[in-house]
Chains A and B, each alone.
Chain A
Amino acid sequence: MQEFQELIKNFSRVRDYMRQFFIYGFKSRADFGEKSSRTYDNERRRIESWLSPWVASGYTARGKQVSITVDSMQVPENPLYAAWKSKGFTDNDLALHFLLPDLLTSHPQGLAVSQLCDFLAAEYGALFDSQTVRLKCREYETAGMFLSSREGKRVTYRLAQPLEAETTPLWKRMTAALSFFQGAAPFGFIGSTLLDRENASNRLFQFKHQFIVHTLEDGILAQLLDAIQSRSQITCEYKSSRTGRGASLSGIPLKIFVSTQTGRRYLCYYQPDFRRLNTARLDGIVSVTVTGPAPAFEQAMAALHRNESRCWGVSFGKQTGRQETVAIRIAIDEATEGHILHRLEREGRGGEVSKIRDGEYLYYATFFDTNEMLSWIKSFTGRILDIQGTNETDIQKLIRDWERMYRMYGPHTP
């Protein structure tokens, strides 16, 4: 049996397990039916090792349950960044990572591969074949850390220079900025690697409403942003989290829609075959393949710009493209409940708010999909005097929900 390793070669392998442990936190080995027991045990042990302070486990009738439980306000950095810092390496990788910069620091003018090999042997007694050293130098050049110069057939490598700003007093302030953006910007784990480089950690900033699990989609996000930037057409392999069924979706990627209230991210893309804008959850996208250039990119982007203000969330409505109107009468005591009025204005996404009479306000809006608004409307439960809308089915669904809630919580409940 192969020895257990904390490090991994393939990110997607652990992505699913981490997500399941984090989001659900109540699944046992039996619930991971797709994989073998040994796979489950290895992945569980790895995640326990990476995230030991945040992993809880317990036994139920269904077996051992493992969960990752984190209050985002109580951690300086997203613990799931551990996944990005877990790529496996060889003994040679580790040795050359330290030996080559050590040599190049004392030879700032640069060294050729043959010289590097000679110095490695002479200074450290380390015998490397020139091909291994050459590949490592090229790898670090590609990563931006080494620079090369060519004189005839001779190529020399040297360390890249620090940024000009790194040598000035402002760089001290960068630690505070990195502390903030590692938690507040897309691809925050890169900020975490920069803090590692500065031997620093965040102690200044606390993050509320931070949904840490979504860092696991950053690899997919990077590929989608590349495709948007290069105006390419893509095909994605997609697995529905609800049904578990796989599907393939194709189109022109245009933008990433982000919910700050759940952390969910969506790809907004245009389907030329159906002449339609659509969205897909990033956490459902398994892989991305660029299939070619997208000549219709600009037209598709223009279509998005025309339509996005009519999206409450991520739905472009039904095929007809018809917009739906909602009008809600809400009871608000202006003297003591200005904050409710303020909620309508700041959360209403452009809907009109007007006063009908003292203590009564109207919220009026037009969007593609009333169904997407229902959760928000229900957050005003206890204040709604009347609701009307052009999508009668959705309005009736809301009314039935309030009836059901009354049966759940009303005075006649046991």
Chain B
Amino acid sequence: MELFDKLYNCYYTAARHILEAAASRPVGRQEMEHLCRSYGFQETFLSLIPKLTGGPVPLLKKEKDGFRSVLASPPPKLPLTSLQKAWLRALLEDSRFALFFDDDEIALLRQSLSGVEPLYREEDFRYFDRFADGDPYEDPGYRSRFHTILTALEEGQVLLISYEGKGGRIRHFEIFPCQIQFSSKNDKLRLLGLARFRGFFSRKSILNISRVRDCRLSSERPAVSPGRFRFRPVKRAKEPVLLSIGGERNSLERCMLHFANYEKHTEYDEEQGRWLCSIYYDTADETELLIDILSFGPVVEVLGPEPFLAQVRERVCRQHQLLWGNLEPTPPSQSGPG
């Protein structure tokens, strides 16, 4: 089974969409270029359109108002490849797969894929630094609540949620769901949504799905477009954290890899002989970023912004006092959780 195969080429995908459109009506060059950009790369139209309209075997024929497909019907959905089946077969053994289907459906999928060897097995992997308190994906209650949340998200419905907050206190929310966030490191799913606030679904909220104790669908379908809240930071920090990296202990590469999931900008300062890296982050992740930077020790230096730097200073000085000073062993109190 070949992973790098022309069958998965995005030119084929773009061509399929063009042929679908051209099955029932003539398609103009502009529309073809648009489809090439939507499903292919930036310059795909330059070589794909001439191949479809000319070349040794044109798949489109010229008509008065544009181009029509030479095919008898719109391109059919092609059968799954062995690689795709093998990947789906591997997913059947993933505990998270059961979140999307009930037991009967999983049995049917298992039957449909019987005889297919999985592409990989869960036991082939060891996730050595994954947090130990991951979500209970196989718990029937968790599955049921996830299913309700997913339905609300797909249908644009409001959720009535009972949520266990800090100290075990149960709170009740009305949430319009926008997305579900997954973190591989935390092994957790979170609901991102808008909570009702002063009558409107306006307050951005993040809820751990494992702490949802009860959730029900409301019949309310507010006129909110979730699209503008999807794939967006909850609250972006005003300024990026600026790091100076000398390269000692392979810190440059380690840093670049460690913070690769953030948007960042790096440049080399010839005068200092050091790299300057700006990391853009969500304020909700500030403590996580702070402790990640501290974990690099002295091979990475925080230059700013001042409030972030103050937190680093406070922890470093506190550490010095705990080891070499005469302070009572009380922990820092102003630097937030972490």
Q: Bound complex: CA of A61 vs CA of B97, how far in Å? A: 51
* B13-49 with Cβ < 8 A to chain A: 13, 15-16, 19, 39, 41-44, 47
Contact A85:B10 (CB < 8 A) given known A98-B71, A401-B298: yes
Q: Can you report 10 residue pairs joining A to B where beta carbons are below 8 Å apart?
A: A52-B41, A70-B263, A73-B231, A124-B57, A193-B84, A194-B80, A208-B181, A219-B3, A359-B331, A403-B320
Q: Bound complex: CA of A2 vs CA of B259, how far in Å? A: 38
A6 contacts chain B at the CB level, 8 A cutoff: yes
* A176-205 with Cβ < 8 A to chain B: 176-177, 180-181, 183-187, 189-191, 193-194, 196-197, 203-205
Assuming A194-B87, A385-B323, what are 9 further A-B pairs, CB within 8 angstroms? A177-B101, A186-B90, A187-B3, A190-B83, A204-B180, A206-B182, A257-B126, A342-B133, A382-B319
Which one of B83, B184, B312 contacts A210 once the chains associate, using CB atoms below 8 Å?
Answer: B184
1/0 contact string of A91-107 vs chain B (CB within 8 Å): 11111011101100110
Complex contact A76–B81 (CB within 8 A):
no
B132 contacts chain A at the CB level, 8 A cutoff: yes
Q: Which of A88, A209, A242, A403 has the most CB of B within 10 A?
A: A209
Which one of B71, B81, B125, B268 contacts A186 once the chains associate, using CB atoms below 8 Å?
Answer: B125
Complex contact B112–A143 (CB within 8 A):
no
Q: Which of A70, A177, A211 has the most CB of B within 10 A?
A: A177
- For residue A409, give the distance in angstroms from its CB to the closest CB of chain B: 4
- For residue B244, give the distance in angstroms from its CB to the closest CB of chain A: 10
Query: What A residues does B81 contact at CB under 8 A?
Result: 143-145
Complex contact B265–A69 (CB within 8 A):
yes
1/0 contact string of B46-71 vs chain A (CB within 8 Å): 01000110011101000000000011
* A114-164 with Cβ < 8 A to chain B: 123-124, 126, 128, 142-146, 159-164
- For residue A123, give the distance in angstroms from its CB to the closest CB of chain B: 7
Query: What B residues does A349 contact at CB under 8 A?
Result: 128-129, 132
Which one of B128, B181, B263 contacts A69 once the chains associate, using CB atoms below 8 Å?
Answer: B263
Which one of A24, A144, A213, A411 contacts B85 once the chains associate, using CB atoms below 8 Å?
Answer: A144
Interface residues on chain B, size class: 35 or more
Query: What A residues does B302 contact at CB under 8 A?
Result: 409
- For residue B334, give the distance in angstroms from its CB to the closest CB of chain A: 11
A286 contacts chain B at the CB level, 8 A cutoff: no
Contact A228:B230 (CB < 8 A) given known A62-B268, A84-B3, A185-B94: no
* B102-120 with Cβ < 8 A to chain A: 105, 108-109, 111-113, 119-120
Which one of A25, A71, A206, A340 contacts B337 once the chains associate, using CB atoms below 8 Å?
Answer: A340
Query: What A residues does B218 contact at CB under 8 A?
Result: none
- For residue A54, give the distance in angstroms from its CB to the closest CB of chain B: 9
B6 contacts chain A at the CB level, 8 A cutoff: yes
B8 contacts chain A at the CB level, 8 A cutoff: yes
B296 contacts chain A at the CB level, 8 A cutoff: yes
CB closest chain-B residue, reference A348: B132
- For residue B46, give the distance in angstroms from its CB to the closest CB of chain A: 8
Complex contact B75–A102 (CB within 8 A):
yes
Q: Mark the stretch among A35-43, A261-269, A270-278, A291-299 that contacts chain B.
A: A261-269
Complex contact A346–B131 (CB within 8 A):
yes
Complex contact B296–A382 (CB within 8 A):
no
Q: Bound complex: CA of A259 vs CA of B318, how far in Å? A: 30
Contact A381:B125 (CB < 8 A) given known A144-B79, A209-B185: no
- For residue A177, give the distance in angstroms from its CB to the closest CB of chain B: 4
Contact A91:B295 (CB < 8 A) given known A76-B231, A177-B97, A257-B128: no
B335 contacts chain A at the CB level, 8 A cutoff: yes
Contact A144:B80 (CB < 8 A) given known A92-B57, A205-B181, A331-B322: yes
Interface residues of B (CB under 8 A from A): 1-13, 15-16, 19, 39, 41-44, 47, 51-52, 55-57, 59, 70-73, 75-85, 87-88, 90-91, 94, 96-97, 100-101, 105, 108-109, 111-113, 119-121, 123-133, 150, 153-154, 179-187, 192, 227, 230-233, 250, 252-253, 256-258, 260-268, 270, 275, 280, 282, 291-292, 294-298, 301-302, 309, 312-320, 322-323, 329-333, 335, 337-338
Complex contact B132–A347 (CB within 8 A):
yes
Query: What A residues does B125 contact at CB under 8 A?
Result: 186, 255-258
Which one of A72, A161, A190 contacts B79 once the chains associate, using CB atoms below 8 Å?
Answer: A161
Q: Bound complex: CA of A252 vs CA of B47, how far in Å? A: 45
Q: Bound complex: CA of A403 vs CA of B112, how far in Å? A: 62
1/0 contact string of A203-242 vs chain B (CB within 8 Å): 1111111111100001100100100110000000000011
Complex contact B124–A228 (CB within 8 A):
yes
Complex contact B154–A313 (CB within 8 A):
no
Complex contact B82–A143 (CB within 8 A):
yes
A260 contacts chain B at the CB level, 8 A cutoff: yes
Q: Bound complex: CA of A380 vs CA of B292, how far in Å? A: 10
Query: What A residues does B150 contact at CB under 8 A?
Result: 176, 204
Complex contact A6–B297 (CB within 8 A):
no
Complex contact B109–A170 (CB within 8 A):
yes
CB closest chain-B residue, reference A254: B124
A308 contacts chain B at the CB level, 8 A cutoff: yes
Contact A102:B71 (CB < 8 A) given known A87-B6, A143-B81, A165-B112: yes
Complex contact A92–B128 (CB within 8 A):
no
CB closest chain-B residue, reference A385: B329
Q: Bound complex: CA of A55 vs CA of B87, how far in Å? A: 30
A16 contacts chain B at the CB level, 8 A cutoff: no
Q: Bound complex: CA of A212 vs CA of B261, how far in Å? A: 7
Query: What B residues does A319 contact at CB under 8 A?
Result: none
Complex contact A208–B264 (CB within 8 A):
no
Contact A91:B51 (CB < 8 A) given known A71-B280, A99-B57, A314-B128: yes
